Amino acid sequence: MKLKIVTIDLELSTLQKRGCLVAASLLLATVTASLAFAVPQTFTPGETLTAADLNANFKGLDERATTLEGARVSVTPWVGADAVVKAGNSAVSVTADGAAKTMHWRRVGDSVEVNVTARFPTCMPPGGLSFSLPPGLNVDYAKTGSYGVLGAAAISHSSSTLARGFVLANAAGQPDVVFVDVADSDGVDVACSDIGSNGWVRFQFTAPIVGWNVYDAP
């Protein structure tokens, strides 16, 4: 490799000049070894290094570092909310079961994390139970696929019969709704008959949300 060395006399002592020369040589060796993959401008054997190229590369590195330092994964505090529950098209009243609210949620990057602890004083209407996401949030089906499995659930009948379940996205025109499916009955949504009076459903799920990104812009 041919190097063009530009000598600048800053009225330093001989010892200081030697120290600066050694430091510059080490820095140059490090830069030339890493620039090929770290910065836009790469160098080939025999090419003369110029101050303009080096300055441009250092500027690019500085801009990239500044961007990375400014980018942050958005993680919000947990927020309590009242779960909106329906059996078919009929609203169902629920109460919190061992928690401050029936629903708690937070944002983590491009997804929402949700915990639901819902007890049903009564559950009479027919139809599968659906739970609405927090207002304004829609599942991003481009990332989950239709009826993707988002989480797990535990379902208890008033007679203490316990079942396992899955939380499924709903791709039937309601991206703001999820269903709880009985694990041992594939494709069968949990219904009031699975709950009874004073039964409960507890579940947790994570779902990517339309319009959310992993990193916030700096």
The answer as to whether 4 is a domain residue is: no
Total structural domains in the chain?
2
Domain span at residue 181? Answer: 79-216
Inform me whether the pLDDT recorded for 206 exceeds 90: yes
Asked whether residue 33 falls in the same domain as residue 62, the answer is yes
Cα torsion at 177, 179, 180, 181 (round to 10°)?
A: -160
User: Is residue 206 domain-shared with residue 150, that is, in the same domain?
Assistant: yes
pLDDT of residue 31: 42
Least confident of 34-38, 166-170, 205-209: 34-38
Rg (CA), the chain: 30
Last residue of a domain, one of 50, 70, 90: 70
> What CATH number does residue 165 fall under?
2.60.90
What would the two tokens of residue 71 be?
A: 């980018």
Q: Which of 12-21, 28-37, 120-129, 172-181 has the highest mean pLDDT?
A: 120-129
Q: Is the pLDDT of residue 58 over 50?
A: yes
CB 129 within 8 Å of CB 92: yes
The pTM of this model reads 0.65
Summary mean pLDDT of the chain = 78
* Region of poorest pLDDT, from 30-39, 86-95, 110-119: 30-39
Please say if the pLDDT value at position 82 is more than 70.
Answer: yes
